[in-house]
Amino acid sequence: MAVAGREGKPRARRPRRAPEGGRRRGRLLAGLGVATAALLALHRFVPNTPGRLGSLLETFLFWSGPLTAVLLLCAAVRRARTALLLLLLPAAVWAAAFGPLLLPAGAPGPRELTVLQHNVADDNADPAGTARALADSGADLIALQELVDPALAVYRRELAPRYPYHSVRGTVGLWSRHPLGAARALDIRPRDVTEPWRRALRAEVRTPHGEVAAYVVHLPSVRFGPGGLASARRDESARLLGRILAEEPSGRVVLAGDLNGTVDDRGLAPLTSLLAAPDRGLALSYPAALPAARIDQVLARGGRVPAIRVLPATGSDHLPVLARVALDADA
């Protein structure tokens, strides 16, 4: 629209300039987009000292996706075109890293086991109800952690009708629909732990598809504090367990446990470098009230883990996870 000037000649209206505050916010959104994309793509290069910052970032790497979605919405509302374009970078990187987990899993194959992993919590007020819920899953194997008296006797009693084979070592146990053999405790105790500490076992499972070496593990807890992520004990136990797995003679291995870390966390690299993580499913398992990360894992060698999912809450602060494990025919 033209506006007449003093001499009657039309004068073009000047285009409006975006307010300075709006431009600053657009630049901030664009900068956040670039930073998020860089952290997603290059998280392995974030140093782990001080405070194990790298592991802390990798624990919550999944949540960069929802964060990017919020930033995209803000950029759209403010019509910040440059920010919108740059925010497509972290969206694309996140989709490549985590998008496959959201895709539907294929139909079960002929050589599959179902494995249920659950930290039942040593202060669980309803062990009987928890045991019945786990048995109702129909899993082939049930791996449990934080088994303490007198609740242990309850789990044995409630699971026995459908799981006639079981082995418990310390505070970890395995229940199976198939015969077990050669069960033993594993020493993955950190050097500075002096009290009795048995939180890992290995057992042979004689499945219809061949023998499988099953590991049930509870790695040390991590804590958040002023100094960052305290995971030294967990990382030490993971290294000890990784050495045991590297010498495992069986071609088929299934590991189920509360690993107190996500599969993206470099602290679990001694395990994830040897075993396959799930192909599909997020299965955020902890804390049960508001799940933020999957620290309960089912990993495999001599096979794949096509899918993993959470089950309804029990009396624990963890959610149970149920995984399908497809065994290789020639492992």
Contact 214, 202 (CB under 8 A): yes
Q: Do 181 and 203 contact (CB within 8 A), yes or no?
A: yes
Please check the confidence at residue 8 and state whether its pLDDT lies above 80.
no
79-133 residue pLDDT tens: 888 899 999 999 999 999 999 999 999 899 899 999 999 999 999 999 999 999 9
Going by their DSSP bridges, the two strands 112-119 and 141-145 should be labelled as parallel
Ordered alpha helix ranges (H), the chain: 20-42, 53-59, 64-77, 81-102, 127-135, 151-159, 232-246, 269-272
- How far apart are alpha carbons 258 and 296 in whole angstroms? 4
Where do we find the tokens 């950190």? Answer: 190
The CA distance from 127 to 122, in Å, is: 9
pLDDT at 3 over 70: no
For the cut 60, the answer to whether the pLDDT of residue 150 exceeds it is yes
d(CA 194, CA 263): 28
The structure's pTM equals: 0.90
160, pLDDT greater than 80: yes
Say what the alpha-carbon torsion angle 168, 171, 172, 176 is, to the nearest 10 degrees.
Answer: 40
CA-based nearest residue to 282, from 264, 309, 257, 313: 309
Nearest to 37 by CA among 70, 99, 86, 71: 86
214 φ/ψ angles, rounded to the nearest 5 degrees: -105, 130
Residue 16 pLDDT level (bands cut at 50, 70, 90): low
Quick one: pLDDT band at residue 64, thresholds 50, 70, 90? very high
**Angle separating helix axes 20-42 and 81-102, nearest 10 degrees:** 30
| Residue-level pLDDT at 26 | 80
The per-residue pLDDT for 306 is: 97
Indicate if the pLDDT at residue 62 is higher than 80. yes
What does the angle CA 236 – CA 255 – CA 324 come to, to the nearest 5 degrees? 145
Give whole-number Cα distances, 145 to 11, 117, 150, 234, 288, in Å: 79, 9, 14, 15, 15
The amino acid occupying position 39 is L
Q: Please give the distance of CA 199 from its chain centroid, rounded to a whole number.
A: 20
Q: Which residues contact 194 (CB under 8 A, 6 or more apart)?
A: none
**Residue reference for tokens 């690993």:** 259
Q: Does residue 320 have a cis peptide bond before it, meaning omega lies within 30 degrees of 0? A: no
CA-closest candidate to residue 144, choices 126, 117, 105, 184: 117
